[in-house]
Structure 1
Amino acid sequence: MVAVPSGDVTISDRRTQSSWNVGVKAYLLGAHPITRATYSQVAGSRPGSAQADQLPVETVSWFNAIRFCNALSEREGLVPAYDVRAQDGHVEWDAEADGFRLPTEPEWEHACRAGTTGARYGELDDIAWHRANSHGRAHDVGGKQPNAWGLYDMLGNVWEWCWDTYDPEVYGDYRVLRGGGWFDEHWSCRASVRRRSHPTFQIDDVGFRVARSVALPFAR
């Protein structure tokens, strides 16, 4: 886990031509997406076709990611962040819990940018697996250069689930995806690009990384 400092980030949506500013408190974020080995150890199953341990887990739904976060919290003796209602699957987030969770969309973009303001935090081929260099598949996590805060694969390799809904008045329960993946053209692998998917969908270029809400010495 990497300590991410507090800050402010501007989220932009090309579809609606709108933008909004969000303040982000300090928190912890996984240095790379959850691997297949870690997912298997915690969840007891290994989605996807390839067996390589250090590949990012993919073909996992948003609900799979939520349940993984709770299982990892219980394994580590932390308070689970999510209450999943058995009757309808509705998920409530306990913001006071110290357990693992998905990053919010502002947290994700703030961490991805790591103090930069451009489309990317480095040259694309140096930092990301994308359509032009991936040979049509995911790659082991941490194989490209990290950003200035020590976070790997924030762009490319696999898209990452965030906690947030994507324009719920139009798309209902659809959740935000960020970061671009191994199959995407260069224009999708940018810090500001937003994508959406239904929380039950399992897609072969979508994974996730985990966050934790903790008190950090440089918090606001």
Structure 2
Amino acid sequence: MSTENEMIGVPAGQVTLTDRRTRRSWRVEVAAHTLARHPVTQEQYARVTGERPSSAHGERLPVEGVSWLDAVRYCNALSRQEGLTPAYRLRADGERHGHADGDGDPADAEWDVSANGYRLPTEAEWEHACRAGTTGARYGPLDEIAWHGGNGAGRIHEVGGKRANAWGLHDMLGNVWEWCWDLYDPEVYGTYRVLRGGGWFDEHWSCRASVRRRSHPTFRIDDVGFRVARSAPWSVAP
């Protein structure tokens, strides 16, 4: 499988998000967009940023040990490389490139929804894409679609090694948790952002389409990565 930014078209639809902690659910309309076939790999991340932050090493392994701020900076850098309009304005660090060092204020990150560049998916987009028209906890038998604590041998795995969902997206569950754009619960957790998908070390109950996790946007964790999205239209008009 190529490590280029292969993007999959995701149709518009609706998704009902649920939060186990608060027992709250809410319905969201999702516009058509594109989503990367697999999480950003270490090779992709190094090609764009010149950095290799992961604790495990392999070109086709998902990049991990990247913060939410690292991920949004990657999106902007990739957009610039491809001549696209960056999706994010990061006022706290003056659009500095490279790793977040913990001194940026994620509250100062703004999303320009009119931009055609790369960005993180919203959690509604992520769950809609993960489900790919299915309604159960997963889009297939867990061992066939995901690397998790029961079959992952305690380590991260190359992208694309498990069966894709019906829309051609790999590793939506398992392998690495994925950063989303959204705040988790700002009234309780402030700037903490949403993580989705479950990881290589997680029990089966965490690898479900509806499970939400949270982390501070400056934290770097060895089972957390991300994949990129783009809004429609996919490119600027000629």
Identify whether the pair has TM-score above 0.5, normalized to the shorter chain.
yes
How many residues align? The count is 216
Question: 1:93: which partner in 2?
Answer: 111
Tell me if 1:26 matches 2:44: no
Tell me if 1:78 matches 2:84: yes
Question: Could you list the per-position Cα deviations for residues 59-88 of structure 1 after superposition, in whole angstroms to 9, with x for gaps in the alignment?
Answer: 000000000000000000000000001355
2:179 corresponds to which of 161, 166, 171: 161
Question: 1:151: which partner in 2?
Answer: 169
Question: 1:57: which partner in 2?
Answer: 63
The CA deviation at 1:206 is 0.1
Question: 2:142: which partner in 1?
Answer: 124
Stretch of structure 1 that moved more, 108-117 or 207-216: 207-216
CA RMSD of aligned residues (A): 0.9
Question: 1:183: which partner in 2?
Answer: 201
Tell me if 1:12 matches 2:18: yes
Stretch of structure 1 that moved more, 207-216 or 57-66: 207-216
Q: Secondary structure at the match of 1:20?
A: strand
Question: Could you list the per-position Cα deviations for residues 116-173 of structure 1 after superposition, in whole angstroms to 9, with x for gaps in the alignment?
Answer: 0000000000000000100011100000000000000000000000000001000000
Which whole-Å CA distance do the structure 1 matches of 2:116 and 2:154 have between them? 38
Question: 1:141: which partner in 2?
Answer: 159
Letter in 1 for 2:46: S
Question: 2:73: which partner in 1?
Answer: 67
Question: Could you list the per-position Cα deviations for residues 11-64 of structure 1 after superposition, in whole angstroms to 9, with x for gaps in the alignment?
Answer: 000100110000000000000000000000001100112321000000000000
Unpaired segments ≥5 residues, structure 1: none
Q: Secondary structure at the match of 2:34?
A: strand
Judge conservation of contact 2:116–2:233 (CA < 8 Å) in 1: no
Judge conservation of contact 2:61–2:157 (CA < 8 Å) in 1: yes
Which whole-Å CA distance do the structure 2 matches of 1:86 and 1:199 have between them? 13
Which whole-Å CA distance do the structure 2 matches of 1:188 and 1:14 have between them? 12
Which whole-Å CA distance do the structure 2 matches of 1:112 and 1:84 have between them? 28
Letter in 2 for 1:182: W
Letter in 1 for 2:213: R
Stretch of structure 1 that moved more, 112-121 or 79-88: 79-88
Runs ≥4 residues deviating over 4 A: none
Which whole-Å CA distance do the structure 2 matches of 1:141 and 1:72 have between them? 20
Judge conservation of contact 2:55–2:222 (CA < 8 Å) in 1: no
Q: Secondary structure at the match of 2:92?
A: coil
Question: 2:224: which partner in 1?
Answer: 206
1:106 corresponds to which of 111, 124, 128: 124
Unpaired segments ≥5 residues, structure 2: 1-6, 94-103
Judge conservation of contact 2:56–2:156 (CA < 8 Å) in 1: no
- Sequence identity of aligned pairs in percent? 70
Q: Secondary structure at the match of 2:127?
A: helix
Which whole-Å CA distance do the structure 2 matches of 1:50 and 1:14 have between them? 32
The CA deviation at 1:214 is 1.6
After TM superposition, the score normalised by the length of structure 2 is 0.89
Q: Secondary structure at the match of 1:8?
A: strand
